Amino acid sequence: MSIFVDETTKVIYQGLTGSQGSYYGRLNREYGTHVVAGTHPKKAGTDVDGVPIYANVAEAVEATGATASCIFIPAAGVRGAVMEAAEGGVKFIVAVTEGVPAHDEAIFYNQLKRDYPDVQLLGPNCPGIISPGKCNIGITAGHIAKSGGPVGIVSRSGTLTYQALYELKQKDIGVTTCVGIGGDPVPGTSFIDCLEAFEADPETKAIMMIGEIGGSAEEEAAEYIKDHVTKPVSSYIAGVTAPPGKKMGHAGAIVSGGKGTAKAKMEALEAAGVRVGNNPTEAGELMAEIVATI
């Protein structure tokens, strides 16, 4: 199985008429994803390569039965787009856009939790989600992923999401689902959300987790793994050589006051029984060793 999305998922692209939205919307559809609609209040009634455009998400959901949405609009409009998707009946929202103000993220994150607890938000500032051979929502290149399981991947880093997929494909190891949760300070989906879903998925036999410096998400994931995850986990934490107090890449990747260091995260994961690599390739090799014993 896969988590969150599969071959039956119907997707609306909020921003399908824009350059990036149309580019990735086409790629996702060519991959096999059911891209069933786009939205634009001034372009309703038109289409993008045969995909109909509706004025808003509610109209698109009513016409197509879509359950997922992918947001490809400028950062200033993401807050409104997320809430439009939730109010319109979408249950899984992927917000690819980077640069969304943290204040906006905090507002719509909490509004979803309060008013739409059954809606799952992925992102913002994330590569999206791919269940190889079934569904690809976002900007991940489909050809670097091998289908068929047995590994589930969750990653904070976009680039390392791709490398994790490619490392496993090079070793002829398939993936059930790969989730790029993004590295912003207020991510809609956490490591723990994905770990819980992978633990419940019978076809996911092992989990690969890619973290980075900053915050406490990896330490919290380590505690969760120790108490709730029975499947073997390999991991890599980016930022071992990052100087304290410097932001490295993502807005959430900043170390301060001695907290959020790669060393502390690695130690927490190792204490939880996770096999931690010193680089992405080593994490892939550790996963290959795990898969060989499954």
**Which residues does the annotation mark as catalytic?**
250
Instruction: For 190-208, give one letter per residue: b (16+ CB within 10 A) or e.
Output: bbbbbbebbbebeebbbbb
Tokens of 276: 């931690």
- Please, are residues 229 and 203 in contact by the beta-carbon 8 Å criterion? no
136: three-class secondary structure by DSSP: strand
Distance CA 104, CA 155 (A): 23
What values do phi and psi take at 280, rounded to 5? -60, -35
Distance CA 147, CA 49 (A): 27
Closest by Cα among 280, 285, 249 to 160: 280
CA torsion sign, 91 to 191 to 95 to 178?
A: negative
Identity of the residue numbered 84: E
Closest by Cα among 264, 160, 159 to 209: 160
258: three-class secondary structure by DSSP: coil
Closest by Cα among 136, 117, 124, 208 to 165: 208
